[in-house]
Structure 1
Amino acid sequence: MPDASRSAPLPELTALFATVRQHFHDVIVPMWQGPGWNAELALPYESLDSQHQPLPPQRYRAMACARQLYVFASLIGEVPQAEERAAALFRSLQRHFHDAEHGGWFYSINPQGAPLDSSKDLYTHAFILFACAHYWGKVREPLVESTLNAALEVITRRFATGDGLYEASLGRDWSTRQSGPLQNPLMHLAEAFLAALSVRDDANVRQALLGLCEGMFQCFVDPGPRVMMEKPLKAVDNWFEPGHQFEWYFLLASSPLLRGGKLHTALEHSFGLTEQQGVDPDCGAVCAMLSLEPHASARDATQRIWAQAEYLRALTLRPGSETVLLRQLRALEQHFLHAQGWNECLDADGNVSRRDMPSTTPYHLLTCYRGLADYLA
């Protein structure tokens, strides 16, 4: 959130942000309005190549549809046809992915539109709740709110484990898969709960969010360095990811409800360690994975664009971070953004290691840019 006592931002930062935001509107959004849109299914293709041609579709995921729904719902009033596209995405979410027999939403469909992976995935349901909250906040249509309510109902009734946490995956008929809780779906559930609370007051959601954060603190935060692990503390072969540390940090620090709580305090404590071990101070590269044993060290040095975006967003809530913010925004523009779109991944040496552009990435860029816009406001 903006700090009223903060001095005016560096002019270079303001100018650079205007450039990258224009790139988003002029290059990235049109990719998904045009070549990235499968008009027959009314769904975004999963990925485009460097020439904006869709990669041969193997599947369509409900999560990808929901992320694009968030993007176009957020752009209503800013981008022509955004409201029409958001409406089409919302209809497709229900038409293609809703399970009329058992409730909830399928994970994916095949290229012909038939269910492919019919399991029930917390990550998917969290993004459906997140997208519907943002969309309902813009259009206030009863059908959207009823879908939001349905997502909340299946999450809290079907996935909940009774200790504030939630199963990562269940069968189509809600049968157990013994998946247990995993960090990433739970983080996006926290994000979805915050989105729901941003558009309406809901005591049950508030309590569920507080319970989730307590469960995360107890089961996922290492008591030594106080970093958020990817699997529960007792799991073997565990690790932590700088991008997720920064993503959690932003969610917690930006929320008056969560700021100052045990989970926020832990990630505040470990923020410096995550930067020291996970971010190259020269080029600003955020690595993908770190191991804790025997000391924090790189386990995967791949640089993913979403992790760069999450570090940028977290920095907007760190006092005295303006110089680092400028460095990181320059790194994003120079190493990841280009005239045809973006580089999804770079290897440890900074070479492009993934050239396709997934339909899910604009969500990360937009949340990052919204954080920067609030910072510069």
Structure 2
Amino acid sequence: MVAEFKLHRRAVLALLAAVAACSDPDARIRNRIDTGWHRDDLEALLLHWHGHALRPDGSFQLAFDRAWKPQPQPELELTGQARLVYAFAAGHEYIPDAGYLKVARRGADYLLQRFRDPVHGGFFYSVTPEGAPKGTAKRAYGHAFALLALAEVYRIGGDVRYRDAALQAWREIELNFFDPAGGLFNECERDFKPVAGSRTQNPLMHMFEALLALREATGDKIAENGARRLGDFVVNQLMQGQAEGSAHIPEWYDEAWKPLPTQAAGGYIDLGHQFEWSHLLTTGAVVSPIYAQVAERVLSYALASGYDDIEGGCGLKAFPDGGKTDTRKGWWQQAECLHGLLVGAKETARNDLWRRYEQTQELIKKQLIDAEYGGWRAADVLPCKSGGCKDVQPDPYHMVRLHQAALKLASG
């Protein structure tokens, strides 16, 4: 009798789900997203970081071993501090009773009080544990995360101080970091004199991400125009099309933004970043409809060049001169792979992408979620049992971005 009841109940639930899907086509998409796992992992990550990372002055301890024992932290770097501000602000949207917004605001205040340069503007690369300037260089990568953090704290909390600080930060970035070719200098001296050297797409990608967040938070045309400026530069100048129609974005360039041509010269295509670009460009369709088409091409390249259709997940690097793909699997690349698959599957409704989403999620559950200590395993090379994992806690930025996207898509 109990078995008959269970079968009847399942049949009723299946019928109700089918009816709901007919009246609400997006329900099919929401039903394929494992919202329970995304929410549970988000809660677990932030619970651990909240329990261990908070310092009395509003900054964060970021260096821990796998068992959450604090490790020496001789300086506080802008990137890591800003990423944790973002993570707590984003977490508040889904876990509003945990006090995360207060933590994010204190962290944002610390960025503005201790990292901001009162003389030349912008943000120092690092400060001492006591909050005094230490690394006074200005790096575009760190500025991108400071901008993302301020935009997210404003979007979630609505305090105009952070909106104004974010818009001011972008004005200073736009004035000082753009090089004549249209990209960003990697690094400048304290007075924003550019430091000579090669270029990388990584700061552009995260600045594009931060500007999309700033546009969403404020609706400001300045942010939209900035995202379009960077996106167009990447799509029109950096992206390399393939004969079969896919495309990729190389990692390193010379000072004229010509991609380094060979593996021996330092040229490669970061596969995790291809998945990351695919979901960012899809989101960026709000500023240019062409970005969605480009996103599909980049995702196609990432799948063909780096996806493991046997076990799920993606490798590390492909090479412009046809060298053998580095198929080793690192932790953050798997987070971005899953993020790209999720957004691509939602956008295109392709069943093969949903299958890969489920496959890669299982890989992450089995290989990266640390059931013993909490957090994720810091894998340079999976599996951890073969010795490819560090005894550290990786910061939760990539994971929080992934779970935030999943829960937002699931909510419609």
* Residue 330 in structure 1 maps to residue 362 in structure 2: yes
Count matched residues. 366
Q: 2:272 aligns with which of 243, 246, 249?
A: 243
Kindly indicate whether the alpha-carbon contact (under 8 Å) linking 1:227 and 1:267 is maintained by their aligned counterparts in 2. no
1:105-160 deviation per Cα after TM superposition (whole angstroms, max 9, x unaligned): 11112334332211001111111111111111122223212211221111110011
**Gaps spanning 5+ residues in structure 1: where?**
none
1:239-272 deviation per Cα after TM superposition (whole angstroms, max 9, x unaligned): 11111111111011123335642x5534422423
Alignment of 1:112-151 (within 5 A): 112-151=130-169
Kindly indicate whether the alpha-carbon contact (under 8 Å) linking 1:161 and 1:167 is maintained by their aligned counterparts in 2. yes
Give the whole-Å Cα distance in 2 for the aligned partners of 1:205 and 1:19. Answer: 33
Alignment of 1:1-377 (within 5 A): 5-6=25-26, 8=28, 14=33, 16-25=34-43, 27-39=44-56, 41-76=57-92, 78=95, 79-179=97-197, 181-224=199-242, 226-232=247-253, 233-235=258-260, 236-258=265-287, 260-261=289-290, 264-294=292-322, 297-299=324-326, 301-316=327-342, 317-318=344-345, 319-320=349-350, 321-339=353-371, 340=373, 341-347=375-381, 351=386, 352-359=388-395, 362-377=396-411
Higher helix share: 2
Kindly indicate whether the alpha-carbon contact (under 8 Å) linking 1:344 and 1:356 is maintained by their aligned counterparts in 2. yes
Code of the aligned partner of 1:86: A
Code of the aligned partner of 2:281: L
Normalised TM-score (structure 1): 0.89
Give the whole-Å Cα distance in 2 for the aligned partners of 1:94 and 1:10. Answer: 39
- How much identity, in percent, do the aligned residues show? 21
Distance 1:239 1:286, change over 3 A: same
C-alpha RMSD of the superposition: 2.4
Give the whole-Å Cα distance in 2 for the aligned partners of 1:139 and 1:375. Answer: 21
Could you list the runs of 4 or more consecutive aligned residues of structure 1 that deviate by over 6 angstroms after TM superposition? none
**Gaps spanning 5+ residues in structure 2: where?**
1-23
1:166-214 deviation per Cα after TM superposition (whole angstroms, max 9, x unaligned): 2111001111212454201000010011011102222233222222122
1:8 is paired with a residue whose SS is: helix
Kindly indicate whether the alpha-carbon contact (under 8 Å) linking 1:302 and 1:345 is maintained by their aligned counterparts in 2. no
2:123 is paired with a residue whose SS is: coil
Kindly indicate whether the alpha-carbon contact (under 8 Å) linking 1:9 and 1:322 is maintained by their aligned counterparts in 2. no
Give the whole-Å Cα distance in 2 for the aligned partners of 1:291 and 1:198. Answer: 35
Normalised TM-score (structure 2): 0.82
Over alpha carbons, which structure has the higher Rg? 2
Kindly indicate whether the alpha-carbon contact (under 8 Å) linking 2:76 and 2:126 is maintained by their aligned counterparts in 1. yes
2:134 is paired with a residue whose SS is: strand
Kindly indicate whether the alpha-carbon contact (under 8 Å) linking 1:104 and 1:120 is maintained by their aligned counterparts in 2. yes
2:316 is paired with a residue whose SS is: strand
Code of the aligned partner of 2:322: P
Give the whole-Å Cα distance in 1 for the aligned partners of 2:360 and 2:209. Answer: 23
Code of the aligned partner of 1:298: T
Distance 1:348 1:276, change over 3 A: farther
Give the whole-Å Cα distance in 2 for the aligned partners of 1:376 and 1:266. Answer: 24
Between 116-125 and 77-86, the greater mean CA deviation after superposition: 77-86
